[in-house]
Amino acid sequence: MIDDAHMILEKIDDQVYIKIPTNMQGLAAIKQLESEGIHVTATAIYSEFQGYLAIAAGADYLAPYYNRMVNMNVDSDLVIKHLAAQIQRDQSNTKILAASFHTVQQINSSFIMGAQAVTMGPELLETALSSPAISAAVAGFKTDWEQLYEANTLDV
């Protein structure tokens, strides 16, 4: 993992955040890479304990897998809430980058529970931003503009 991280940094960019799985070997790699000043995201987090260990190892980001935890009957919200509380107690600079979502509500819950960032597929972003209420509001803005300024319209 260490050699792969160095190769990625050399060939891509030295500011890339290296994804390291949160297992025994991964925790050692996180600690080593962080000691070298390399940015690390601790991935494949399914429990508070994994997250606590990644925080202690110095990970920049924790990536708890929200929907995968749901599928394992793990309370994803509680895991994220507990990780956020531990980060605050430790006054750590670690942040939570929640991942693996099936619904927009899961994304919202992650933020409510303390995640600072999320990663999602484009289909969820499209779902979140394609509400009929949004389309109606945009149409209303356009109508209001046209009533005030007639032919000087904006194409939205």
DSSP 121: -
Q: Of 11, 19, 81, 142, which one is the catalytic site residue?
A: 19
Orientation angle between helical segments 76-90 and 104-113, nearest 10 degrees = 30
Which alpha helices (H) appear in 21-121, and where do they start and end? 24-35, 48-57, 66-71, 76-90, 104-113
Q: Give the span between the Cα atoms of 107 and 80, in whole angstroms.
A: 12
Instruction: Say whether 19 is catalytic.
Output: yes
Q: Is 33 exposed, middle or buried (0-12, 13-18, 19+ CB in 10 A)?
A: buried
Rounded to 10 degrees, the C-alpha dihedral 60/63/89/74 comes to -170
Q: How far apart are the first and last CA of the chain?
A: 48
Q: Which residues are catalytic?
A: 19
